[in-house]
């Protein structure tokens, strides 16, 4: 059994196979995930509303993935529930850029995988762009 934080076999294999510039999306329960030929791998972790949370999932993924930069939607910075920006403000090590939600959904089509969480906060989605460790 692995000794690191990330125990999910699909996500561990994904991280191990990623190259510089590859993208993985960690999304909320409502993010549309592309289907069909050429669609990203779907890793569905959602169990019930809020489980697992975006924070829990990102913490586990980032324990093994080297991230160069990330994208969140402008819309995540609006409204009363700012869970994603609060989470982002507590992390360091990579730049987080804002794009429109429509652009974020478009990036999903080019991602290697989309990890679906149980998060129910609107616009709580993040595209992680893989970096290198050297």
CA distance 42 to 24: 10
Q: Distance (Å, rounded) from C-alpha 37 to C-alpha 14?
A: 19
Residue 3 has pLDDT above 90, yes or no: no
What's the rounded mean pLDDT across residues 1-24? Answer: 94
Bridge-based pairing of strands 113-116 and 126-130 is: unpaired
Mean residue pLDDT across the chain: 90
**Binding-site residue set:** 28, 101, 123-125
Annotation: binding site for substrate: 28, 101, 123-125
Q: What is the CATH number of domain 9-130?
A: 3.40.1650.10
Active site residue 69: no
Beta strand pairing status for 126-130 and 23-27?
antiparallel
Considering 2, 20, 69, 74, which one is annotated as catalytic? Answer: 20
**Confidence band of 90 (pLDDT split at 50, 70, 90):** low
The structural domains of the chain, with segments of one domain joined by +, span 9-130
Residue with more model confidence, 93 or 51? 51
Q: How far is CA 47 from CA 30, 94, 99, in A?
A: 13, 29, 28
């Amino acid at each position: 059994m692995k000794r690191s934080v990330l125990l999910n076999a699909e996500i561990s294999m994904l991280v191990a196979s990623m190259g510089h510039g590859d993208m993985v999306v960690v999304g909320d329960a409502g993010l549309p995930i592309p289907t069909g030929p050429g669609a990203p791998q779907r890793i569905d972790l959602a169990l019930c509303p809020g489980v697992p949370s975006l924070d829990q999932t990102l913490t586990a993924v980032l324990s093994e993935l080297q991230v160069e930069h990330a994208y969140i939607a402008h819309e995540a910075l609006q409204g009363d529930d700012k869970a994603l920006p609060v989470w982002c403000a507590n992390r360091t090590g990579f730049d987080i850029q804002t794009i429109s939600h429509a652009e974020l959904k478009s990036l999903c089509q080019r991602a290697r995988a989309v990890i679906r969480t149980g998060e129910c906060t609107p616009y709580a989605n993040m595209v992680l762009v893989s970096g290198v460790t050297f």
